[in-house]
Every structure is written in C-alpha cells, then in structure tokens.
Structure 1
C-alpha cells in the first residue's frame, strides 16, 4: 500500500502537469468554437428549463420549488456520472503516455477529475442563477455544501481509480458501468425529491448516490440532511479507499502491460 500512496503523493506534487493536460483536453473539444466550453452551460440550461417546466407540471410542484431542486440535482449528477464513466477509461484513453513515459498512474485520474471540475464550474453558473432568483442561501448552508461536496469528490476519486484499474484489465467494464449509471439515474432523487419515495425509503438508504445528492443539494435548499447520508458516505469513503489502495498497490506495475 506504500507504493500506491507514493504514486498518489508524486502525482499531487505534479499539479502543474495534470491541470495543464486537463485544460488542454477541454480546449481541444471546443476548438474553433465561438462560445467554447460554455456550450456545456447552454445545453445544460436548456435541458433544466425544459425538464423543469414539464416535470414540474407532471409532479404538480411549484416551479419555485422544483426548478432549484432539479438544477442542483442534474448538474451534480452529471459531474458524478462523468467522473465515474470517464474514470473507468482513464488509463485506456491515456495508454500512449503510460506505455512511453515513466509517469505516475494516479496523475491521469487527477487529469480527468480536473477536467470535469472545470466543466462543473461552467454548469454552476446555472445553479447560482437559479438559487439567486428563487432562494436565499446562507453562509452556513454554503459551508455545509462545501463539506458535502468534498466528501462526495473523495468517494468519486477512489471509485474512478478502482474502475480504471478493473477496466484496463477487463475492457467490457466501461460499457457495463455506463449502463449501470443510466439505471441508477432513475432510482436516485434527481428528477424528484426524496420525500416522493417515502414509501420506498429503502431505495434511498441503499443507494450511495442518494446520499451524495442529499449532502450536496439539501444544504443549498435549506433542507435538513438525512443523518445516514453523512454517516454512510464517510464509511464508504474509508472502506472504499482502503480497498482501492490495496488493489492499486498490487496492480500499479501491471497497468503498463495491460493497456
């Protein structure tokens, strides 16, 4: 496990490299585009507005209540699903670097995370606009949100790393994970609130993504966070990190051959 921790430490020290790679990859996606990465914001904004009006009417909810809930849930779900899906392909997508350069492996997870954090920052414009228009957010709520976001991101990092290791060995895993995330989307309170599933509360308790959405969204909506959301998220972070470090330590030197 010491080898894996050393790889992570060295990768974190080379922050200038993975931030540059992440930014370069994002720029390449929108090369010669007038609006550039803000196409992410425009497309997300149109989607949230359309779903907000349609599903708000279907669920018989006031737009003032439903639109902020939907905007926060959809923006952060997109971030989480992208980190996990792209995390599984991180080592596969960067195989030329891995096979030709003696680069720490964790640096490619950080590159992917940094790129998605920049995409999230573009989409946060929508969340801020909706919250300012419909709600008043207190400083204590922002602090609680940041605490929850850090905890969620920590969980996403070990999930992405573990997924990248397994995927580089078994190439069917990224497709399986993508299909799995599509199913999870419909049983996670994103388009609807957790209260709507009170009859099936076990779906929320057993679904880690429900915990993640809860500790991020509830503070911004001035709603109480379920106690189990924090508790289970911390337990998952500890157990998941330990398991991932062990797997990473045993497979780190084999990744160059697997890619």
Structure 2
C-alpha cells in the first residue's frame, strides 16, 4: 500500500496584473482534512488562489524553487527506496554564532560601527515582516525530529515535513528598534524599495504538525533572543 501526503502551500498574498504569483512559494503543512474530502479541500484552495491571481506551483525565486525541488527529490527517494526522511523548514533563525550575512547580524555590526543600514519595504511603504526563530528553539525541534524518526525499511518508510518557526512575525523596523535598545545606539536607517528578486513581504510558520508530532513549542520572543545575541556579540 502506498501512502500519499498532500501539501497545501502558504502563498505570499501579492499578485500582478498578469496573474502570475509575485510572492515566493512559502513553507506549508500537510493538509489537515478535518473531515473534508481531498477534492473539496483542493477545490477550496484553488478558488482562493484564483481570487488572488496566484499559481501555487510556480516558485518565483531561486530560493523557493530550490526548497521545493529538494522536497520533491527526497519524496521520490522515499517512494522508490523506502527511506525514512524528515524535512525541516527553518524560519529566519537567529542567535549567537549565527550567520554574519543575516540581517540582524549585519545590522548590529553596522549600528555599532556607525554605518547606515538598509531597511527594505514593499509597495506603498509596507513593512517587511519575518517569523524570527531563536536558535535554541530550532535545536530542540531538530532533536525531537531525530528522536521520533522511523527506520528506513526499504518499503513504507516515513516521509515527514515540519515547519520550525516562532509563529510570531515581527516587522524589520521593529527588529531594528529592539537592536537599538539593547545596543544603546541609534541606527542610521536607509529605507529603500524591496528589489524585485522574488522575496516575500512576510513569513509566518504554521507549526501545528510539529507541535502535535514533535511536541515542538517555541518559547523565546524576539526581544529576549536579541538580548542574548547582543550579550554574546
């Protein structure tokens, strides 16, 4: 018997006159049926996408396309070879020992050096927002996914995808304000339009599946996490 999981994808709610999606393909969860048949769920999803002018299976950034391709490839390996596979989707991870190219890290460095920082906004000066997730919460999710992973049996291996986020999007200007407070230095903000590289205005993780199957529960808000980062920095 072959078990098939269907994934609903959360799409950035932007659209262009041409009807193509201008927002990137975002992380989603396996659809929770709640008693509805797959056909009904699919029709409902397609109606919502049509109203928004969105084509959900056409990523508009290389980043989104690479993530989607990776999940398709691993699903194929699971199907053919029975490998037990768990995919984890991280949402804007930050904290000590983080990547220097991430916004929070480069912002802190430039603020302390008295250099200007570039803050992007969308059309009509809409602020960008991200579901910033502290590194300790991500690590706990990774460990729990390892603890619950199934064995690769050669047939019928588990295939799981989990979102690991904080479920509390914060705007980038608010992030800068928090850094200013902890660093005790005022930032020199250079606010410019977001480049047309397929990036999205906001991200917001649905962690219901990770909460149910992994017991994943993020506990660190952005203010607390950035305070720890600044202390380390």
TM value normalised by structure 1? 0.28
Structure with more strand by fraction: 2
TM value normalised by structure 2? 0.30
Larger RCO (CA within 8 A; separation ≥ 6)? 1
